[in-house]
Amino acid sequence: MKKIIIAQHYGFCMGVKRAIAITEETMAGEDKVTILNEIVHNEAIVEKFRREGVGQAVSVDEIAGGTVIISAHGASPEIFHRAEARGLKVIDATCPLVIRIHKIVKKLAQNGYRVLHFGDGKHDETIGIVGHAPERVTVISGLDELQALPPFSGKLAMTSQTTARVSDFVEMEAAAKEKFPQIEIFNTICNATNQRQAAIMDLAPKVDIMLVVGSESSANSKRLAQISRAICGLAYLINTADDIKPEWFKNSPKEINVVGLSAGASTPDFLIEGAIERLRAIAQSDVEVIYPQKRDLQNRLALKDEDDC
């Protein structure tokens, strides 16, 4: 291993930074704080807040009192009402780009549209979006489900999960237009997702192996690993540096000289730094680390967020 190249865009996005900041502010001002679902989909962040005394719940019905924080992925209006009915103080850390989809879906529903939402029906974000117009939104996760829909000639629109694979959405859009020529398309994939996917597509052809730091629960991290695997053939999703195995480099079918490194939108920088250190230890020699635009990680932390909408 001679070189580690870090993707041009990687790691924390605007919505994740914001949700973490809101949680920290809330902890400083309130006694009993509980986060509904994972604040962001990263085990290290979830564990950090748990260690600091923040409660975790998967339903508002489990929360006995105090303050509940709605995660970056958002929730349906019904959850807000149920929390308020239980006397909980509600702090909303939903990413503004998810709120934008809530507004689009609600407005479309009020104007008589049916909405096809391209996403994972079990993901917190999708559940929250559907909850804004449950009778009007149908979740589709792929082309098969689109093709299986019955004919429909009424007002129809399509939206997307913020973290969908861009090329999948392009395919879905083309197929949806063919099947339902009247359909109106709202590409609601967020800017952070677009940037990270474009950066990994640019980097993957230049490396022998790609490592993506992110949790299994993180849809956008998994997507980055899938995209790079399809391009460079060898890619792993790693939760922490400890998951990096020396045999990936020593027993690899191809010689590994250049390692690509990226991270999902909910991965903190210390996990990426940890991965670099582990790679250096495995290499047991000098490894050049190429940072995006010649910036190091510390400088990057001080820069203005590039992922704002």
What residues are annotated to the active site? 125
Any contact of residue 13 with ligand SF4 (CB under 6 A)? yes
| Chain centre distance of CA 298 | 23
Any contact of residue 72 with ligand SF4 (CB under 6 A)? yes
Binding segment toward ligand SF4, per CB under 6 A, in 23-31, 168-176, 187-195, 204-212: 187-195
Q: Among candidates 260, 267, 259, which has minimal Cα distance to 214? A: 267
What part of residues 34-63 is at the interface with ligand SF4 (CB under 6 A)? none
Residue window 102-141: x/- pattern of binding to ligand SF4, with contact defined by CB under 6 A: ----------------------------------------
Any contact of residue 93 with ligand SF4 (CB under 6 A)? no
For ligand SF4, which residue of 6, 14, 54, 224 counts as binding (CB under 6 A)?
A: 14
Helices (H), the chain: 14-29, 43-51, 77-85, 96-110, 124-130, 143-147, 166-179, 191-203, 219-232, 247-250, 269-283, 297-302
Task: Give 186 or 248: the residue with its C-beta nearer to ligand SF4.
Answer: 186
Contacts of 196 (CB under 8 A, 6+ apart): 7, 9, 10, 220, 224, 262, 264, 265
Rounded distance, CA 20 to CA 301, Å? Answer: 15
Least Å from the CB of residue 163 to ligand SF4: 6
Least Å from the CB of residue 22 to ligand SF4: 12
CA dihedral 268, 188, 205, 298 (to 10 degrees): -30
Least Å from the CB of residue 195 to ligand SF4: 10
Rounded distance, CA 199 to CA 215, Å? Answer: 19
What part of residues 134-163 is at the interface with ligand SF4 (CB under 6 A)? 162-163
Task: Give 13 or 210: the residue with its C-beta nearer to ligand SF4.
Answer: 13
